[in-house]
Amino acid sequence: MPFIKVRENGPYLVDVGDEVTLIDWNGRQYPIARRPFALCRCGHSKNKPFCDGTHREVGFQGAEAAPESGTPDPSDPGR
């Protein structure tokens, strides 16, 4: 099942298969080197909109978990 996972203190992991495109405000596509891919959530990547791992260096804190009442996704591979 395709999913976007909010990683604790990290990026958005986008694992939605090959059909999705990532476009800018002009409608132009970003080249996607590999899939799944991660989108920067910390704002410090030098390769935006992709994550380049800088969130670790800057100590990004982002741990907004989904409500506990949310239904666990049985297909979540736990990545």
The residue (of 27 and 55) whose beta carbon lies closer to ligand FES is 55
Candidates 76, 73, 3; CA nearest to 38 is: 3
Q: Which of residues 6-65 bind ligand FES (CB under 6 A)?
A: 10-11, 40-42, 44-45, 51-55
Can you tell me the distance from the alpha carbon of 17 to that of 2, in angstroms, rounded to the nearest whole number?
7
Q: How far apart are the first and last CA of the chain?
A: 14
The residue (of 19 and 40) whose beta carbon lies closer to ligand FES is 40
Q: Which residues bind ligand FES (CB under 6 A)?
A: 10-11, 40-42, 44-45, 51-55
